[in-house]
């Protein structure tokens, strides 16, 4: 039996921490579908299409990975794609409460879908999409914190924003 996990998130943008979770997740699952969930309550810096492009480029070379988008409940996506698990990364204790509540809700919605948490590797503990965006906005060097395509796209995005200001 092939085991499939869904790794959902906004990935706005993808970081090396996200890539690390996918790489380590492949040690546990035969296949991982990285799903960009459309959340109408969040304002994204990048469009869904841009995030798909960045994820595909960032995960290129890894086998058994698929990138997709979805509007709806993660457990519904799991059922539709025959996934047995939801893969989640956690950086710190501050992530735990939200992730725990989400996992319990998903479990309540569908008892067949398991949530698997992977602790972020220590080297990525401080890296989040929000912190990366803020750092680039103020001109910080983020070499090694995000894939090359993400660094390029962030630089372009904020150069354009700063030129309009």
Identify the structural domains of the chain with CATH numbers, from first to last: 4-164 (3.40.50.620)
**Spatial contact of 91 and 130, defined as CB atoms under 8 Å apart:** no
Query: At 49, which helix (H) or strand (E)?
Result: helix 48-58
Query: At 118, which helix (H) or strand (E)?
Result: strand 114-119
pLDDT higher than threshold 80 for residue 94? no
Model pLDDT for residues 27-72, shown as the tens digit of each residue = 999 999 999 988 788 889 999 999 999 999 999 999 999 999 999 9
Q: What is the pLDDT of residue 154?
A: 95
Name the catalytic one among 31, 58, 129, 153. Answer: 129
> Pairing state of beta strands 31-37 and 114-119?
unpaired
Q: What is the pLDDT of residue 39?
A: 79
Name the catalytic one among 18, 51, 88, 133. Answer: 18
- Residue 47: active-site member: no
Name the catalytic one among 24, 81, 91, 157. Answer: 91
- Residue 18: active-site member: yes
Dig out the tokens for 127 from the structure.
């890296």
Average pLDDT over residues 138-161: 91
- Residue 44: active-site member: no
Name the pTM for this structure.
Answer: 0.92
Model pLDDT for residues 100-117, shown as the tens digit of each residue = 999 999 999 999 999 999
- Residue 91: active-site member: yes
Q: What is the pLDDT of residue 42?
A: 82
Q: How many residues does the chain have?
A: 165
Between residues 122 and 73, the one the model is more confident about: 73
């Amino acid at each position: 039996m092939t085991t499939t996990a869904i790794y959902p998130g906004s990935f706005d943008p993808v970081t090396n921490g996200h890539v690390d979770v996918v790489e380590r997740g492949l040690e546990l699952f035969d296949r991982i579908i990285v799903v960009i969930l459309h959340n109408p309550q969040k304002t994204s810096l990048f469009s869904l299409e841009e995030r798909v492009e960045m994820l595909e480029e960032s995960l290129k070379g890894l086998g058994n990975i698929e990138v997709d988008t979805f509007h709806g409940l993660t457990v519904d996506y799991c059922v539709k794609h025959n996934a047995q698990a939801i893969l989640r990364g956690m950086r710190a204790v501050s992530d735990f409460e939200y992730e725990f509540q989400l996992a319990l809700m998903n479990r309540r919605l569908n008892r067949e879908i398991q949530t698997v948490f992977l602790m972020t590797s220590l080297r990525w503990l401080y890296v989040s999409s929000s912190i990366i965006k803020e750092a680039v906005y103020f001109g910080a060097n983020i070499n090694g914190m995000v894939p090359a395509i993400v660094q390029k796209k962030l630089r372009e995005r904020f150069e354009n924003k700063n030129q309009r200001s």
